[in-house]
């Protein structure tokens, strides 16, 4: 059977699936195109303050908007999470901000995981992210996979949200993955919300201290991440 004929049969058998996937991708691209400029604009202090005042004027609706941004940040992995967590800390304080972010992480992780599982491959990532994902192929064959995911989520400097596009194709149970993806990143989120809360309270000394600690741990985390991945690749090659 020729490749063209095989391809036509595959398309015919999965016609409805392809249509649904195409619609999902189109909607996600439209939403991303509309919201990405706005989300990235939150890196400016004036924009964050204006947005904070606007959200506060909305009451509970503002909480839902903040939650929606956190969910979007997890699903669209290219959006940096630190700015969202910083804003949450500025709006609600360190601990309540942490709670808002964790709720968004739970919902966003569920959406990204299930959508990736349904699509059959990480179609929501860019080509650059696809190359990043190949670095974590070793996870699929790990026996202690829960500990590996916990370590990767806990250590600073790892692309945490990208793991949502790796986990569906490993042997880890979704319940375990969701718990790990949520609780292992608490220290990282808390430091960001703490900085945000300190800034809005005018405690710049605490903000600088925490920020310096975060930078230091982030550098160590990046170095550890590269060392850990290289070691795993060496083991894979030796086997």
Task: Please report whether residue 28 resides in a domain.
Answer: no
Token pair recorded at residue 58: 């909305």
Task: Please report whether residue 150 resides in a domain.
Answer: yes
Task: Please report whether residue 36 resides in a domain.
Answer: no
Task: Please report whether residue 22 resides in a domain.
Answer: no
* Dihedral-angle region of residue 202 (phi above 0 means left; psi in -120 to 50 means alpha; beta otherwise): left
pLDDT band of residue 108 (cuts 50, 70, 90) is very high
Asked if pLDDT for residue 122 goes beyond 50, the answer is no
Residue 210 neighbours by CB distance under 10 Å: 19
CA–CA separation, 158 and 225 (whole Å)? 7
Q: What average pLDDT does this structure show over 135-140?
A: 64
Domain count, the chain: 1
pTM of the shown model: 0.69
Task: Please report whether residue 140 resides in a domain.
Answer: yes
Task: Please report whether residue 121 resides in a domain.
Answer: yes
Residue 137 φ then ψ, to 5°: -65, -25
Q: Domain containing 61: what range? A: 42-238
pLDDT above 90 covers a percentage of the chain that reads: 17
Task: Please report whether residue 13 resides in a domain.
Answer: no
pLDDT band of residue 186 (cuts 50, 70, 90) is very high
By the 8 A CB rule, do 25 and 123 touch? yes
Task: Please report whether residue 93 resides in a domain.
Answer: yes
Higher per-residue pLDDT: 196 or 142: 196
């Amino acid at each position: 059977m020729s490749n063209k004929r095989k391809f036509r049969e595959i398309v015919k058998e999965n016609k409805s699936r392809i249509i649904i996937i195409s619609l999902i991708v189109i909607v996600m691209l439209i939403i991303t195109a509309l919201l990405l400029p706005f989300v990235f604009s939150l890196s400016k202090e004036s924009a964050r303050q204006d947005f904070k005042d606007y959200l506060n004027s909305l009451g509970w609706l503002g909480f839902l908007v903040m939650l929606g941004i956190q969910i979007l940040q997890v699903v669209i992995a290219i959006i940096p999470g630190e700015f969202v967590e910083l804003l949450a800390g500025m709006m609600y304080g360190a601990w309540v901000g942490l709670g808002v972010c964790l709720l968004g992480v739970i919902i966003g992780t569920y959406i990204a995981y299930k959508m990736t599982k349904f699509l059959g491959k990480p179609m929501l990532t860019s080509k650059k992210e696809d190359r990043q994902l190949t670095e974590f192929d070793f996870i699929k064959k790990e026996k202690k996979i829960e500990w590996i995911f916990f370590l990767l989520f806990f250590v600073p400097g790892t692309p945490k949200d990208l793991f949502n596009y790796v986990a569906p194709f490993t042997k880890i149970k979704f319940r375990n993955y969701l718990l790990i993806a949520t609780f292992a990143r608490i220290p990282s989120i808390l430091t960001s919300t703490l900085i945000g809360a300190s800034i809005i309270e005018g405690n710049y000394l605490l903000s600088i201290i925490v920020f310096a600690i975060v930078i230091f741990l982030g550098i160590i985390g990046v170095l550890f991440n590269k060392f850990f991945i290289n070691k795993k690749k060496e083991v894979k090659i030796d086997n």
